[in-house]
Structure 1
Amino acid sequence: MPAPSASPTKPPTGTTASATPATPATPTPKGAPGAPGGLRGGFGPVALVVAAGVSVQFGAALAVMIMPRAGAAGVVTLRLAAAALVLLAVCRPKLRGYTRADWGTVVAFGVAMAGMNGLFYQAIDRIPLGPAVTLEVLGPLALSVIASRRLVNLLWAGLALGGVVLLSGHGGGGLGFGSLDPLGAAFAVGAGAMWAAYIVFSARTGRRFPQADGLALAMAVAAVISLPLGVAEAGSALLVPSTLALGLGVAVLSSVLPYTLELLALRRLPAPTFAILMSLEPAIAATAGFLVLHQAMSALDALAIALVIAASMGAVRAQRP
């Protein structure tokens, strides 16, 4: 699920990050969005978020295909463990020079990541991908309303929520979620709450750790948390070569690439805008379900997608300079 990053310059020791990401006061490192030689203008961070969404939802579709082999918890373990190994090998994060608050932030980020992934995969093991992501995105939408400092963002959040309500009919047997498995729907809502926590702690981690060090360390924390559950459910099935290969593919598509792109985007986007952009996820999930899992989309789904995209565009245009 959602589903790879450089992060802002680490603030002075003892600095406390707020819940709403802000552009660092220190000079932006070379290669960062908005820096010389980096991504310029407002379109760059938005493109990063959209690309992350495409990657994570197609990764989720692939995960659904391999769940019969390893189960939901097993797929989560494969995804997080493989992603952690890749990121640790590439980033080689330093372990010294950080405060207790820095480590607390990265651990909280890892816990949020493990919870978000674990709950989401339990959801899509019970209900279709489209409704699962639709319910999950309510978490970021709630964050956008709570964190917003401009009344116009409430309008865009409401429009996005209207699209989410319409999209709830995708794979769910009509408007509403009455035909969905109640436990699966509850898992999806829980994943949305953890997604909101992920947005907050990913931004804080990005400000405290250089490059992708914080992401790699948080991914390792998430992998350690998920490992006992995955082993208990899948056992030796996790070691089958073909399953390992598919799990690596899920890890790259759903963790390494999207989390990195999202951390890059969070260096230049405030939390409310980022959260409303996350409302694109149900539309992307419906597309992935159609192309990979052969789940048809109705005219109602298309209308919902249009509303969500309109809300996301409005949120970006309303962003403060």
Structure 2
Amino acid sequence: MTSRPSRALLGPVGLVLVGILSVQVGAAIAKGLFGEISPTAMVWLRLVTSAVVLAAIARPRLGGRSRHDWFVVLGFGASLATMNWAIYQSFSRIPLGLAVAIEFVGPLTLAVLGSHRARDLVWVLLAGSGVALLGLQRTDLDLLGVAYALLAGAAWAAYILLSASTGRRWAGFDGLAVASVLAALGMTLPALLTAGTSLWDGRVLLIGALVGLLSSVIPYSCELVALRSLRPAVFGILMSVEPAAAALAAIVVLDEHLSAVQWLAIACVVAASIGATRSAPAPVERSAAPGTLAT
């Protein structure tokens, strides 16, 4: 009798963890290809893959939409494209785990501001302290990479806000599918300008599609099923381990190791994210991805 609830819990928790690992392994594989193709072109391949799959599944209804409907979904697509482009630019310059940790400052700040409780600012301060620790090794860390990670975090916060507005106006996955198509279209010209002929190499196209599946399609599916039976607060806490998962994926796939100070910085961000999630008066939601879409 006691084993049935534990199995029921293990299912959704396991799905979320599989989604997290899938996202970060996909990001690590993408980074391993940066010597052959630009980060911008790799983002485009990922967005195209997810856009095609989502559009095929959702088959969004486009007729009868108001101008405001399109304005909202266009902003949603722009935040999606910016978030993915910026984080890929970031971890092309700094370790993957650090890029994801710094990116978390964006949604973490948004969650704390939404709590309206001054005491919850301690979580932003803890995360900021973790990022500040990286300054101890500033000579080893590309500041432009840090700036791109912060930009990705800001775009992620905008993505969360716009996803709520999009969800109110577009049913089901329609808004996300349309936004993904718009994001892919918006990244097409920059991708073509930076990729060169390597973009059309069969191996590069295959790996790009694989990254799209690992970083978008598989996590979407896992999270969609998991959230049917998993409390949003538990989901938020599980997602908080993503920076550590990114660092571990980078070790396994890229042999990219971090210093003790850098691991401490990641630990600060993870602890701050867990603390903000546990103390939030309303569930902290990661719309359709978050890290899913961010890395």
| Shorter-chain TM-score tier | 0.7 to 0.9
Would the aligned equivalents of 1:113 and 1:198 in 2 still touch at CA under 8 Å?
A: yes
Offset at 1:309? 4.1
Offset at 1:262? 6.5
Structure 2 counterpart SS, 1:210: coil
- Deviations along 1:228-276, one digit per CA (max 9) or x if unpaired, are 11111113322222111110111122223445667886x9759xx95x8
Aligned with residue 196 of structure 1, among 145, 157, 167: 157
Gaps of 5+ in 2: 1-7, 283-295
Structure 2 Cα separation of the partners of residues 302 and 178 of structure 1:
17
Go from structure 1 to structure 2 and tell me whether the alpha carbon gap of 1:101 and 1:67 turns closer, same or farther (over 3 Å shift).
same
Offset at 1:302? 4.9
Go from structure 1 to structure 2 and tell me whether the alpha carbon gap of 1:258 and 1:152 turns closer, same or farther (over 3 Å shift).
farther
Go from structure 1 to structure 2 and tell me whether the alpha carbon gap of 1:59 and 1:184 turns closer, same or farther (over 3 Å shift).
same
Residue identity (%): 46
- Deviations along 1:117-165, one digit per CA (max 9) or x if unpaired, are 1122122222221232233222223222332223443233333444444
2:101 aligned with 1:134: yes
2:250 aligned with 1:289: yes
Offset at 1:52? 4.4
Structure 2 Cα separation of the partners of residues 156 and 65 of structure 1:
33
Go from structure 1 to structure 2 and tell me whether the alpha carbon gap of 1:177 and 1:132 turns closer, same or farther (over 3 Å shift).
farther
2:153 aligned with 1:186: no
Q: RMSD of the alignment, in Å?
A: 3.2
2:78 aligned with 1:117: no
The amino acid that maps onto 2:181 is: A
Aligned with residue 186 of structure 2, among 225, 230, 254: 225
Alignment partner, residue 276 of structure 2: 315
Structure 1 stretch 277-286 or stretch 81-90: which is displaced more? 277-286
Alignment partner, residue 288 of structure 2: none
The amino acid that maps onto 2:93 is: R
Offset at 1:299? 4.3
Structure 2 Cα separation of the partners of residues 229 and 69 of structure 1:
16
Residue-pair matches, total: 271
Aligned with residue 77 of structure 1, among 33, 38, 44: 44
Structure 1 counterpart SS, 2:136: coil
Alignment partner, residue 24 of structure 1: none
- Deviations along 1:163-214, one digit per CA (max 9) or x if unpaired, are 4445x3xxxxx73534322332222222221111112112222232222111
Offset at 1:224? 0.3
Residue correspondence of structure 1 range 246-265 to structure 2 within 5 A: 246-258=207-219
Structure 2 Cα separation of the partners of residues 134 and 180 of structure 1:
14
The amino acid that maps onto 2:183 is: A
Structure 2 Cα separation of the partners of residues 300 and 180 of structure 1:
12
Would the aligned equivalents of 1:141 and 1:279 in 2 still touch at CA under 8 Å?
A: no
2:112 aligned with 1:145: yes
Aligned with residue 32 of structure 2, among 65, 86, 105: 65
- Deviations along 1:265-309, one digit per CA (max 9) or x if unpaired, are 6x9759xx95x8765332222111112111234444554454444
TM-score by length of 2: 0.78
Go from structure 1 to structure 2 and tell me whether the alpha carbon gap of 1:295 and 1:132 turns closer, same or farther (over 3 Å shift).
same
Residue correspondence of structure 1 range 196-215 to structure 2 within 5 A: 196-215=157-176
The amino acid that maps onto 1:110 is: G
Offset at 1:218? 0.3
Structure 2 Cα separation of the partners of residues 206 and 48 of structure 1:
23
Structure 1 Cα separation of the partners of residues 155 and 167 of structure 2:
18
Offset at 1:84? 0.7
Would the aligned equivalents of 2:115 and 2:280 in 1 still touch at CA under 8 Å?
A: no
Structure 2 Cα separation of the partners of residues 49 and 153 of structure 1:
26
Offset at 1:227? 0.6
Go from structure 1 to structure 2 and tell me whether the alpha carbon gap of 1:176 and 1:194 turns closer, same or farther (over 3 Å shift).
farther
2:200 aligned with 1:239: yes
Would the aligned equivalents of 2:101 and 2:269 in 1 still touch at CA under 8 Å?
A: no
